[in-house]
Amino acid sequence: MADNHDHMLSRTMSASEVSGIMDRAASVFNALDLDKDGILDSTEIQSVQDEAKTNGVMSILDACNSSEGQFTMSEIDQNKDGKLSAAEFTKYFMKIFTVSGPDKALAILSKLDADLLEIGR
């Protein structure tokens, strides 16, 4: 992915760190977005939560909650339409990156990756 387009991001972030986290977030989003329309609706979110529960892994949102303490729909759903767009999802991880640093953002993404693998996504 080209990373030389114009980001509105703090220049304290390196372009490779930013694109790395954006790519990871996009890949997690893609695994959650069952019909691949670029939107996570409540059905898709519920579905992954149910699968996580069935497979005995920590629910996706709980995983983020425990590591960040503020991973809630309302936190991510910026336009409050009850759905998460890919942009809202990646922006949320950029916010964690900005607030808590790249290690925190990557730790949450790794946990999500592991959980998704566990439930066969």
Binding residues for Ca ion (CB under 5 A): 33, 35, 37, 39, 77, 79, 81, 83
Residue 48 Cβ, how far from Ca ion at the closest point, in Å?
11
| Pair 88, 6: CB distance under 8 Å | no
Identify the burial level of 13 via C-beta atoms within 10 angstroms of its C-beta, where 0-12 means exposed, 13-18 middle and 19 or more buried: middle
CB atoms within 10 A of CB 4: 7
Q: Which is nearer to Ca ion, 10 or 27 (CB)?
A: 27
Residue 79 Cβ, how far from Ca ion at the closest point, in Å?
5
CA 56 and chain centroid, separation: 20
Q: Which is nearer to Ca ion, 89 or 97 (CB)?
A: 89
Q: Which is nearer to Ca ion, 13 or 34 (CB)?
A: 34
Q: Which is nearer to Ca ion, 3 or 77 (CB)?
A: 77
| Pair 88, 76: CB distance under 8 Å | yes
| Pair 5, 49: CB distance under 8 Å | no
